[in-house]
Structure 1
Amino acid sequence: MTTDERTQTMPATEAFERLGSMSLSAESLESVLQAVADLTKQVLPGDVEASVSVLVADKPATFVHTGQLALDLDESQYGRGHGPCLQAAASGELVEVADARTESRWADYMRRAVELGSLSSLSVPLGSSEVLAAGLNIYARQPGAFDDDAVRRTAARFARFAGAAAANMHAYQHAREMADNLQVALQSRATIDQAKGILVERHRITPDQAFHLLARASMAANRKLRDVAEHLVATGELLASPQRR
């Protein structure tokens, strides 16, 4: 089968149903984006390869890819510091190359793309560059592979799904971190309250005075208040307790 004879192997509706059925709580961000790239390759007509480029602290990296061609083309742009995938990720705008042989932008990269066998490409941002500087890159071996508006719309839908998944995954992970931090804080509070209770009973003082004793011991021992409280609860000893005159 030649490149021109190759057609899409999966209907777009089936691909999006598969993506929609993925559970973000059971998947990693990498697995979700890899699924987007793989399904993009299967759905879009023509002989294409796909990747997802991400800018982290202004440093680009290919997060996932479907084949060596996509990885080589991404890294060729990274080495030069410019190209369609970097432009899309940084600007948040769709970037299309209709024919690499006649494209006037990024001339040195275009020569390399032709050498590697990619004659057209489409780089679609995953969302706002302020939220996530990333793009879905689709490389075709024939020119004009993305002339059809339906193809561009399908590619944009994949990118929107990837962007939404990345944003939701980030929100989910942030919520988990907040929950974990809250749990730690609650456990620390319980330990500190227990330590205060020991001091109140031992010295017949108020809870506020007990807290100040713990705080002074924390400063004197150069240890966290929680650590001082845990030590008192576990051993009955107050670390670096100031000597009374």
Structure 2
Amino acid sequence: MAHPDAPVHPLGEPERSPLARQFAELTRRLLNTDTVAEALGHIMRATFAVVPAADLVSVTLRSNDGRLHTPLETDPLGSELDALQERYGHGPCLDASRKPGLAYTHSGNLGTEPAWPLFGPDAADLGLRSVLSTALLPEVTPPRLSGALNIYSRREDALAEEATRDRAMLLATHASLAMANTEAVRLAELRETQLRQAVDSRDVIGQAKGILMHRRGINADEAFDLLRRTSQELNVKLAELARTVAARDAELDI
């Protein structure tokens, strides 16, 4: 029997913590989602809400031929990081997606991570110091894509707390369920989304590079390096910085 002084909540309106409210809202959005790309977009936005240390979030899928695909990312570096892992044959999302069931990989210092001797230093050179990758559960029916939800931070020793890992695994579980309950996953759809985002990002980055080349008298590689370094120093996404430079080139002195 409940204690007479125990708080009573109206039916259907239990008291919720901020984290519970965020996951409840994510579930509501996923239930009203029709496409895989839209579902994964909700997952990535929720990741920033529940993992404050996150600076870059991406979703990696492995097709039956073993190739990696990055259908959605919050920064063009997501695709670059996946390409590095595919080139070297090791890395966090590869390790997480190879393990059956719920799994995760973590490093708090990518620059010296012994598990990924080639990928880790390259990721650190791109300004990313910590990573947490959580496995997506493969579908029961074909094409049975496996994959990972990847969270990167620019700070060392970030993303290591047990609470952060548990939140990431909950997000990956939501992503797996959403993928299973939306339309059958079609790589063509995901690739189209990826291509559209990549083209948009490359266009605006190209515009910003052209502005810097003209104003600074530097070549394309130097302009890109300037954008990348400034992005890291200001802690803003590369594409976001490029849009600002392109839109306000007359006002800014990068």
Please tell me the TM-score bracket, short chain as reference: 0.5 to 0.7
Gaps (5+ residues) in structure 2?
Answer: 1-17, 187-254
Superposed CA offset, 1:2-49 (max 9, x none): xxxxxxxxx433331222112556421111011101220232122421
Superposed CA offset, 1:62-105 (max 9, x none): 01111123332222212323211111112243111121122101
What pairs up with 1:30-179 in 2 under 5 angstroms?
30-57=37-64, 58-92=66-100, 93-128=103-138, 131-170=144-183
CA distance in 2, matches of 1:133, 1:142: 28
CA distance in 2, matches of 1:161, 1:41: 15
CA distance in 2, matches of 1:50, 1:172: 20
Deviation at 1:128, TM superposition (A): 4.3
CA distance in 2, matches of 1:126, 1:27: 19
Deviation at 1:170, TM superposition (A): 5.0
1:77 is paired with a residue of what secondary structure? helix
Residue of structure 1 in register with 2:251 after alignment: none
Gaps (5+ residues) in structure 1?
Answer: 1-10, 174-245
Counterpart code for 1:117: G
Residue of structure 1 in register with 2:252 after alignment: none
CA distance in 2, matches of 1:172, 1:87: 22
Larger Rg: 1
The normalised TM-score by structure 2 is: 0.58
**Which has the larger displacement, 115-124 or 101-110?**
101-110
Residues 121 and 59 (structure 1), Cα distance of their counterparts in 2 relative to 1, 3 Å cut: same
Residues 26 and 128 (structure 1), Cα distance of their counterparts in 2 relative to 1, 3 Å cut: closer
Superposed CA offset, 1:96-116 (max 9, x none): 112112210121111101100
2:175 is paired with a residue of what secondary structure? helix
Q: Contact 1:48 / 1:140 at 8 angstroms: preserved in 2? A: yes
CA distance in 2, matches of 1:47, 1:82: 22
Residue of structure 1 in register with 2:232 after alignment: none
Q: Percent identity?
A: 30
Tell me the number of residue pairs that the alignment of Structure 1 and Structure 2 aligns.
163
CA distance in 2, matches of 1:153, 1:51: 18
Residues 109 and 26 (structure 1), Cα distance of their counterparts in 2 relative to 1, 3 Å cut: closer
Verify: 1:18 aligned to 2:25, yes or no.
Answer: yes
Residues 125 and 26 (structure 1), Cα distance of their counterparts in 2 relative to 1, 3 Å cut: closer
1:150 is paired with a residue of what secondary structure? helix
* Structure with larger RCO (C-alpha < 8 A, sep 6+): 2
Superposed CA offset, 1:187-240 (max 9, x none): xxxxxxxxxxxxxxxxxxxxxxxxxxxxxxxxxxxxxxxxxxxxxxxxxxxxxx
The normalised TM-score by structure 1 is: 0.60
CA distance in 1, matches of 2:133, 2:39: 18
